[in-house]
Amino acid sequence: MTANSTRASLLVRALRAGVAGDTSAIPNLYTRDVVAWSPWMSAGSAEDLEYELEHRDGTFTDLHLDVVPLDVGGDYACAEWTLTMTHAGDLTLPSGSVLAATDARITIYGVTVAEFHGDRICALRQYCDELAVLEQLGVAPAMNATKS
């Protein structure tokens, strides 16, 4: 069994590689049959994950990730993160309309839970507030507005 500090470090490396689109890190961080999910993608294998990372559309650029491991125990590790990025390309909205690049700098907050098999991640789930992206781009009403 891999030490907790090693698993925390592996999760942080995996998150950074994901943000950077570094597919070369996949074999060292994930099992071949990894299952991964986030609001923006899902993968049922390391090959699927590589495909997802290679086929990003460039909607957001200049990505900056701050990540802190929260808890590691047994076969699981958890990290909280902040991702700051620039809206640099067309974004298709839930309505189907397209929002042209605004160059707005936006920040989202999230949590990732990873399950390990030995010294590699076999499952990864990311949770964040997707609506916060639309709010910061001005195409959704702010949910934290106080009622009068």
Q: Return the pLDDT at 70.
A: 87
pLDDT in tens, 112-127: 999 999 999 999 999 9
Does residue 30 have a pLDDT over 70? Answer: yes
Residue 142 in any domain: the answer is: no
| Mean pLDDT of the chain, nearest integer | 91
Rounded to 10 degrees, the C-alpha dihedral 4/9/15/20 comes to: -170
Identify which of 135, 110, 112, 138 has the alpha carbon closest to the alpha carbon of residue 125. Answer: 112
Interatomic CA distance for residues 31 and 96, integer angstroms: 36
Does residue 148 have a pLDDT over 80? Answer: no
Residue 141 in any domain: the answer is: no
Q: Return the pLDDT at 60.
A: 95
Q: Return the pLDDT at 6.
A: 86
C-beta of residue 110 within 8 angstroms of C-beta of residue 128:
yes
Residue 100 in any domain: the answer is: yes
pLDDT in tens, 74-88: 899 999 999 999 999
Identify which of 146, 114, 90, 134 has the alpha carbon closest to the alpha carbon of residue 18. Answer: 114
Residue 40 in any domain: the answer is: yes
Residue 10 in any domain: the answer is: yes
**Cα torsion 84, 90, 111, 135: sign:** positive
Residue range of the domain that includes 103:
4-136
Does residue 20 have a pLDDT over 90? Answer: yes
Residue 122 in any domain: the answer is: yes
Does residue 145 have a pLDDT over 70? Answer: no
Does residue 110 have a pLDDT over 70? Answer: yes
Residue 110's CATH number: 3.10.450.50
Q: Say what the pTM is.
A: 0.87
Quickly tell me which residue has 């298709």 as its tokens: 92
Q: Return the pLDDT at 57.
A: 84
**How many structural domains is the chain composed of?**
1
Q: Return the pLDDT at 27.
A: 96
C-beta of residue 12 within 8 angstroms of C-beta of residue 5:
no
Q: Return the pLDDT at 120.
A: 96
Interatomic CA distance for residues 9 and 24, integer angstroms: 17
Interatomic CA distance for residues 25 and 78, integer angstroms: 19
Does residue 142 have a pLDDT over 90? Answer: no
